[in-house]
């Protein structure tokens, strides 16, 4: 939503694509058996969890403190696509609960006696397709409705604080909930 509000619905796809590459990395980790290692190692899981929590808090504080730039002002350059992609990638990569989720979710759909690569490929394609549809066509489209709120500086400032607070809150929850 934040990408869609800040850079427009069309450009928000870059952050979504970063998240999808991270999802594919999580699936590859599970398929390679490394996911079992992460899930069974409290130290490794904790390191990834706290790194992800810290990253979310940093993003949240930045968002909360960011200035409410005027919408449509020519001298305000849109965020580069790679920056949006990288942020989406890092947010999702540093979420160890995704590995645990895939560890619990994927075995139900895998037949060990069948070739594994095609099965994981179909699952990965399905998960990514559904996630893109949900993220882009639901969340990013929902942000379009908030566009009228961002026409005023006070509305932009409020949204920055709301999204910044949400990022910080999720980061704190990630660190606190076991």
52-80 residue pLDDT tens: 788 888 888 988 887 765 444 334 567 88
Lowest mean pLDDT among 53-62, 69-78, 89-98, 100-109: 69-78
* Alpha carbon distance 136, 48 (integer Å): 27
Residue 163: pLDDT over 90: no
Over residues 166-178, the pLDDT tens digits come to 889 988 987 887 6
CA–CA dist 50, 16 (Å, integer): 23
DSSP 103-132: HHHGGGG--TTS-HHHHHHHHHHHHHHHHH
pTM of the model: 0.69
pLDDT bracket for residue 110 (50, 70, 90): confident
**174, 47 Cβ separation under 8 angstroms:** no
Measured between alpha carbons, how far is 99 from 41 in angstroms, rounded to an integer?
12
pLDDT in the model for residue 76: 54
Mean pLDDT, range 125-139, rounded to an integer: 87
């Amino acid at each position: 939503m934040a990408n869609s509000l800040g850079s427009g619905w069309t450009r928000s796809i870059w952050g979504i694509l970063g998240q999808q590459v991270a999802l594919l990395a999580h699936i590859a980790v599970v398929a390679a058996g490394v996911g079992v290692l992460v899930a069974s190692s409290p130290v490794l899981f904790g390191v990834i969890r706290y790194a992800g929590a810290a990253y979310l808090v940093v993003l949240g504080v930045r968002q909360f403190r960011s200035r409410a730039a005027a919408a449509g002002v020519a001298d305000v350059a849109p965020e580069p696509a790679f920056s949006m992609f990288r942020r989406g990638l890092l947010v999702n990569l540093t979420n160890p609960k995704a590995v645990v989720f895939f560890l619990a979710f994927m075995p139900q759909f895998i037949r060990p006696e069948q070739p594994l690569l095609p099965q994981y490929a179909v699952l990965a394609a399905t998960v990514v397709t559904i996630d893109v549809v949900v993220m882009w066509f639901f969340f990013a489209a929902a942000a379009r409705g908030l566009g009228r709120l961002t026409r005023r500086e006070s509305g932009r400032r409020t949204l920055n604080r709301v999204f910044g607070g949400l990022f910080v809150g999720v980061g704190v929850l990630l660190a606190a909930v076991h």
